[in-house]
Amino acid sequence: MIQSMTGYGKSILQLPSKKITIEIKSLNSKNLDLNTRIPAIYREKEVVIRRKLAKELTRGKVDLSFFIEATAEETSTKINTAVVSNYIAQLNELNTNSDVLSVAMRLPDVLKTEREELNEDEWHEIEKNIDVAINHLQDFRNDEGEVLKKDFVFRIDTIKNNLEDVITLDSERLQAVRDRLQKAIAELKVTFDENRFEQEMIYYLEKLDITEEKVRLSNHLKYFLEELESSVSNGKKLGFISQEIGREINTIGSKANFAPMQKMVVQMKDELEKIKEQLLNVL
């Protein structure tokens, strides 16, 4: 089973005085890149949140955001009554004719913001909802992984079909190379040792032999498909296998010396490039 690094998870927690929405988004990245947007009241729990995300999500560019919406008639900003009363008393001593309260309310330190303390019971509920958001993101990743898997299987099967065509063409290719060399020698209109020519021909054709490459490429394709069924998603391992697949395809291409086979090689390279591009998003 493979997972995509692309995902989205969301949970909503309704508390007596506020609604908290937790969103987690992830994109592909070589390593784990965590970014958090957490209100000041929960900042002391940032390390706990980061550990949880790192444990569950492993890799990817991950963004977590808290959105808080007040749902009760409560506010952390209060009127500092002692300060206001003092201002009014001083203004009255001046015997001003102005609206004393209006003037007092515009003076410094009239309003005070009380720092809200973290409620542990509330935090436990928030932590549960972080887990819910992570689970939703994991489900998203799994669904995306299934889509990627189907695409990989299709493209690996296409490469396998091309390889079968290469195997079919191989004997024809070697005969075509032999015929081309014999024709070139005949056009020179020179005498030569037939036995020596045959020895050199065999030596040359051995250099063009792709038996090992065909076997290795077939094994790598099989290994890639087996890894897709692994219980653990490992995009890096699949990337290494794709590199080995590419190496064998390139070697076949360099030895082909036969246009129909080179056409098959180009098609295999095209499918492999699409696989590599998609692998960048596999966990």
Q: What pLDDT digit, counting tens, does each position of 85-122 carry?
A: 776 777 677 666 667 667 666 667 655 555 567 888 89
Q: pLDDT-based confidence at 14, cuts 50/70/90?
A: very high
Whether residue 127 has pLDDT greater than 70: yes
Set out the domains of the chain in order of their start, with CATH numbers: 7-74+120-142 (3.30.230), 77-113 (no CATH), 144-279 (no CATH)
Q: pLDDT-based confidence at 204, cuts 50/70/90?
A: confident
- In the sheet that holds 60-70, the strands lie side by side as 7-14, 18-27, 60-70, 32-37
pLDDT, tens only, 56-86: 998 999 999 999 888 765 555 666 777 767 7
Whether residue 179 has pLDDT greater than 90: no
Strand partners, 70: 18
The alpha carbon of 200 is separated from its chain's Cα centroid by a whole number of angstroms, namely 52
pLDDT, tens only, 25-35: 999 998 999 99
